[in-house]
Structure 1
Amino acid sequence: MAKLSILLCIAIAFMLSFTLREVVAHTGTATFYTPPYVPSACNGYQKDGVMIAAASDAIWDDGAACGRKYKVKCTGATNQSPHPCRGKKFVVVKVVDYCPSGCEGTIDLSQEAFASIADPDAGKIKISFHQNMTSPLRIWVEIWQWVSLASLTFEVNPMYVDDK
């Protein structure tokens, strides 16, 4: 019974860890760039699809941003354009390129990624974004952390009852 309670606590904590991560987001702006998307600073001539982005100095991190995935949500207009945001709540993009100094946005989305969350005629939008960390490796790391924490916190010692 005690093991079942511990596993239940671990499962709840694990689910909460993903829920709480969604609350913490950065704000910035997004612009878009048009094809061709190769060559890119991260992968040269490798094609990475169209749900991609170029990182500005704010998130580039000397190239460490390459391959990171970000969940990006349109939050409003940066100018007088009325309601640029579209019905889709967010888009997940992979950083494959660098948007050099003077970049107009925090994240420069591919034209397709931008169009999925906002009207391209807006040109530039306000966004909230956070790193999307749901890779299988990250999930296993989180499970291991919660199991380790639970084993330290909920140490179970067997109890024996003497009927005498």
Structure 2
Amino acid sequence: MPNFSRDEMEEMMRRWTAANQKSEREGNWRQLADCFSEDCVYGWETPNGKYEFIGRESIRETCVGAAMDPYKGWTYPYDKIVIDESRGEAFATWWQTPPGAPSREDGSPMKVIGASWFKYGGNYQWCEQMDMYDYGAITNLIKECFDKGIIKELPLMSTDQVTK
């Protein structure tokens, strides 16, 4: 069983969240792939099945590439982070937030919570990541943003779940 130091795991998460913030600012998520090992496994599930990609360059093309391209201007600020250095794992929650962080008429923020589980592989790289979220809530948020004119197009990966 891996046994990484707390300091190393905290530094990895600091690097990850900094890279995430940079990606938000620049609208380029592909650079996040540099935080993964060459043989990393990254996945998530939707009502249509499980998506899993293996390898840094595959992840760069898909998970942090084509899958994120439609979400330019969206932010994913991390909220809670739990680190288990004895297992080399981290779990974090984040908020999927539309461009401009809009609020609803009742004043509540337009955002949906999600979570990620990470397996650390050493050398400041993740060797596994699994994202978890309420797909229905996200598609409803996307439709709400489209209906209010916050976004002008429905993201490609959501058009089969969200109708105009």
TM value normalised by structure 2: 0.22
Question: Which of the two has higher C-alpha Rg?
Answer: 1
TM value normalised by structure 1: 0.22
**Whose strand fraction is larger, Structure 1's or Structure 2's?**
2
